[in-house]
A and B are shown apart, each in its own frame.
Chain A
Amino acid sequence: MWSRRQGRLRPVVCGVEELRRRGREREAVLRKARREQQLVSKRLLRDDAPEEAGEGCVSAILGETEVQQLLRQAQRGTEEKRERALVSLRRGLQHPETQQTFIRLEGSMRTLVGLLTSNQALLQLEAARCLHELSHSEQSTVAEACLPATSYLLTYLSSHSSDFIELCLYTLGNLIVESEAVRRQLLPQGIVPALAACIQSPHVAVLEALGFALSQLLQAKEAPETIIPSSILASTLPQHMLQLLQPGPKLNPGVAVEFAWCLHYIICSQVSNSLLIAHGALSTLGLLLLDLAEAVQRSEDAGLELLACPVLRCVSNLLTEAEVETVGGQMQLRDERVVAALFILLQFFFQKQPSLLPEGLWLLNNLTANSPSFCTSLLSLDLIEPLLQLLPLSNVVSVMVLTVLCNVAEKGPAYCQRLWPGPLLPALLQTLFFSDTEVVGQSLELLHLLFLYQPEAVQVFLQQSGLQALERHQEEAQLQDRVYALQQAALQG
């Protein structure tokens, strides 16, 4: 499924090693961008790659005279000649230099818009492709030169040609991330209602493109204040988004990925999550998690982490809403299969994408924190041992595993009796040899609960040199008080 989509979106003609190297470089760039809160990406839709690859060479940069000539040729003559002129122009526009030349030419955009709005289908399509190349530019001046076309791009979202609509959507998606100024034009032009109307399309490619464009809009810095409350939540978009995330035979993973990210941006903005809960977001996403776990079990998991990540985030954040505690029945998440599914996903992350383990464990924390039922599930489904296997992976993971175990232990003796005897105490003794203060601190909390509710564990702790392990941390400011308290408890017990 993704390989099909990727094939349309600029297939890469190079080897796997080269890809990996580029991937690492690109990753470093993206991390830096994110830390500066500048993480934006554009998409490029190029359909005619086979021809180019066959020719073996990339098209040439066009000079000013050539661009002018092509624009003239595109306006008169047979449709075939005009189309060829536009194709040449489009190929030239793959180069930043040609893009600059184009936007500096007086009347060039006006001509292009004229061709875009002509009633010659092939010319429209080629003009739209030219516009799309420009929208993808990293130069603001180039992308912003496309602004005169936006009202038409939006108008065409309610046309009937799915290819054309898809192209318009990806172009809009690229323009959206260009700047707040661009968005300040697109919003009054009615982009949200236009997207809301377009989401009823039955075409998968259109829906995926729409999801992308919408995710770009929702990711904007000003979205939580200006876009999400007034436009998005007031429209029918949330309901449609949830519908597109319903698991089942009609679920398209590429589409679902885009809308899951859209939901994530809405939910983590914390603007009106109660509305989403009222629309059944929790139960839909819960069922989707089950679906994802089943896909993992069937080994149909290519790219699955791309969908799992935003879904986990959405559920985790929604679980913090107050309504979840009070609202009953369908709106809550109580099915213990969610816990089973989550562990299957954790195992999948462990093998394929360890960097997502913290996010999975975050969900586990939010599920278990205030839920005796889910804590009981952890015990009855024998999930403590698998959880302990994650302890040595990283400090962040350790802290989260220990936090989840504390969630279970703090519920009282009935729970601690099921935690010990067992692999927990040996694992805890191991963590006391870690150096990270936060990890050790969380271990101390857990030990405290264990000693309180399951006093028999103290003896075993002492026998296994627990006190010596504690002594290592006596001098640490953050840990001293708790170490001392535990030493006292152990000696008295």
Chain B
Amino acid sequence: MQLPPALHARLAAGPGTAEPLPVARDPAAEAAPFRFAARPVRFPREHEFFEDGDVQRHLYLQDVLLQVADVPEKPRVPAFTCQVAGCCQVFDALDDYEHHYHTLHGNVCSFCKRAFPSGHLLDAHILEWHDSLFQILSERQDMYQCLVEGCTEKFKTSRDRKDHMVRMHLYPVDFRFDKPKKSRSPASPGAGTQASADVQGNSGERSEGDAMEICTEPAVASPAPVGERRTYSHRIPSTVCFGQGATRGFKSSKKKTKQC
């Protein structure tokens, strides 16, 4: 198929619309038995017209179309240690470090050192667990926000929220990032049941690997967080190291460690 040479030049030149030649139709053009009518055509998704292109698409998805290629090497760098004080993990690939850092040290609560998969969940945790004003407000209005991205529903209690997430969003009943808060005040009603529910839930989980929310020490003897300052962010900025040691739940690993 030969194309006129000037075509490439036209493509390279600027945008433009051709001045149309005058249109002058004769009614005899449409007279029977002739039936041509110029019109744009649309095809719905399952039309057989699309068969060839669809098959090509799926051959590509199934990796049949492309040619053999080398697997790219993961870029290696000189070995380095995690920057967070108290963490002795060594890395030689940036991807691994990124994952490690964000899993263990990113989105970490400055109060209880729990790590969360996202800033969104961390924020919810801080609000619900460590903010006394939240507790007070929640007695009068619905404060427990649904944890599902995009859902703006709020609830009076974390129990109600869980019910909502299970019923409406089909989340698992034991969703690991929505543990009921352990009551810190021994005087509050229902503390007993909550604590025991936690322990039950936790002991089941302890054998299944470290879920992020385990309170493995039942004797978390801290005073009720009344009078906490709310004027600063509780998040650890990613560039700051704390000298307090590793985050909760991190088991020091014998693999790839240096003395630190």
CB pair B11–A294 under 8 Å, yes or no, is yes
Cβ proximity bits A383-415 to B, threshold 8 Å, 1 near / 0 not: 101100110000000000000001100111111
Contact of B55 among A27, A270, A369, A413 (CB under 8 A): A27
User: How many A-B residue pairs lie within 8 Å, measured between CB atoms?
Assistant: 365
CB pair A340–B21 under 8 Å, yes or no, is no
Interface centre among B10, B51, B66 (most CB of A within 10 A): B66
Specify which chain B residues have a CB less than 8 angstroms from the CB of A124 in the assembled complex: 99, 103
| Nearest CB in chain A: distance from B95 CB, A | 5
Contact of B71 among A8, A306, A373 (CB under 8 A): A8
CB pair B208–A449 under 8 Å, yes or no, is no
Cα-based distance from A227 to B214 in the complex (angstroms): 37
| Nearest CB in chain A: distance from B258 CB, A | 15
A27-B59, A163-B95 given; A189·B169 CB < 8 A: yes
Mark the stretch among B40-48, B136-144, B181-189 that contacts chain A.
B40-48
Size category of the B interface is: 35 or more
A159-B117, A319-B40 given; A30·B58 CB < 8 A: yes
| Nearest opposing residue in chain B for A117, CB measure | B176
Cα-based distance from A175 to B16 in the complex (angstroms): 47
CB pair B209–A114 under 8 Å, yes or no, is yes
| Nearest opposing residue in chain B for A308, CB measure | B53
Specify which chain B residues have a CB less than 8 angstroms from the CB of A194 in the assembled complex: 149-150
Chain B CB within 8 A of A144 CB: no
| Nearest CB in chain B: distance from A306 CB, A | 6
Contact of B22 among A269, A355, A414, A444 (CB under 8 A): A414
| Nearest opposing residue in chain B for A190, CB measure | B148
Chain B CB within 8 A of A380 CB: yes
Contact of B36 among A27, A310, A317, A449 (CB under 8 A): A449
CB pair B169–A382 under 8 Å, yes or no, is no
CB pair B209–A123 under 8 Å, yes or no, is yes
Chain A CB within 8 A of B240 CB: no
CB pair A344–B208 under 8 Å, yes or no, is no
Contact of B38 among A13, A79, A370 (CB under 8 A): A370
A110-B208, A412-B26, A453-B26 given; A381·B21 CB < 8 A: no
Mark the stretch among B1-9, B192-200, B218-226 that contacts chain A.
B1-9
Specify which chain B residues have a CB less than 8 angstroms from the CB of A11 in the assembled complex: 68-71
Specify which chain A residues have a CB less than 8 angstroms from the CB of B250 in the assembled complex: 119
CB pair A6–B63 under 8 Å, yes or no, is yes
CB pair B102–A365 under 8 Å, yes or no, is no
Specify which chain A residues have a CB less than 8 angstroms from the CB of B117 in the assembled complex: 155-156, 158-159
Specify which chain A residues have a CB less than 8 angstroms from the CB of B249 in the assembled complex: 119
Within 8 A of B (CB), among A188-240: 188-190, 192-194, 196-197, 212, 224
CB pair B149–A158 under 8 Å, yes or no, is yes
Within 8 A of B (CB), among A1-39: 2-4, 6-14, 16, 19, 22-23, 26-27, 30-31, 34-35, 37, 39
Cα-based distance from A9 to B6 in the complex (angstroms): 42
Specify which chain A residues have a CB less than 8 angstroms from the CB of B53 in the assembled complex: 309-310, 313, 355-356, 359
Specify which chain A residues have a CB less than 8 angstroms from the CB of B16 in the assembled complex: 335-337
Specify which chain B residues have a CB less than 8 angstroms from the CB of A317 in the assembled complex: 42-43
CB pair B54–A336 under 8 Å, yes or no, is no
CB pair B103–A119 under 8 Å, yes or no, is yes
Chain B CB within 8 A of A125 CB: yes
Chain A CB within 8 A of B19 CB: yes
Specify which chain B residues have a CB less than 8 angstroms from the CB of A313 in the assembled complex: 43, 50, 53
Cβ proximity bits A112-146 to B, threshold 8 Å, 1 near / 0 not: 00110111111111000000000000000000000
| Nearest opposing residue in chain A for B12, CB measure | A294
Cα-based distance from A148 to B171 in the complex (angstroms): 9
CB pair B2–A340 under 8 Å, yes or no, is no
Specify which chain B residues have a CB less than 8 angstroms from the CB of A411 in the assembled complex: 21, 23-25
Mark the stretch among A62-70, A90-98, A243-251, A345-353 that contacts chain B.
A345-353
Cβ proximity bits B103-118 to A, threshold 8 Å, 1 near / 0 not: 1101100000001011
| Nearest CB in chain B: distance from A115 CB, A | 5
A23-B59, A121-B96, A185-B170 given; A376·B18 CB < 8 A: yes
Interface centre among B22, B33, B38, B41 (most CB of A within 10 A): B38
| Nearest opposing residue in chain B for A148, CB measure | B172
CB pair B56–A376 under 8 Å, yes or no, is no
A337-B11, A362-B41, A410-B38 given; A80·B170 CB < 8 A: no
Cα-based distance from A372 to B17 in the complex (angstroms): 11
CB pair A341–B99 under 8 Å, yes or no, is no
A190-B150, A335-B15 given; A49·B21 CB < 8 A: no
Chain B CB within 8 A of A259 CB: no
Specify which chain B residues have a CB less than 8 angstroms from the CB of A47 in the assembled complex: 71
Cβ proximity bits A153-167 to B, threshold 8 Å, 1 near / 0 not: 011101111111000
B interface residues (Cβ-Cβ under 8 A, vs A): 1-4, 6-8, 10-11, 13, 15-26, 28-29, 32-36, 38-46, 48-72, 95-96, 98-100, 102-104, 106-107, 115, 117-121, 148-151, 168-172, 175-177, 205, 207-212, 247, 249-251, 253-255
The 10 A-B pairs of least Cβ separation, nearest first, read A193-B150, A114-B208, A372-B20, A481-B33, A80-B255, A3-B69, A412-B24, A160-B102, A161-B99, A355-B52
26 pairs of residues in contact across A and B, judged by CB atoms under 8 Å = A7-B70, A30-B59, A43-B61, A75-B209, A79-B251, A117-B209, A120-B209, A120-B251, A148-B172, A155-B121, A159-B103, A189-B170, A189-B171, A193-B151, A268-B45, A310-B53, A313-B53, A337-B11, A343-B7, A350-B1, A355-B53, A370-B40, A406-B36, A412-B24, A414-B21, A481-B32
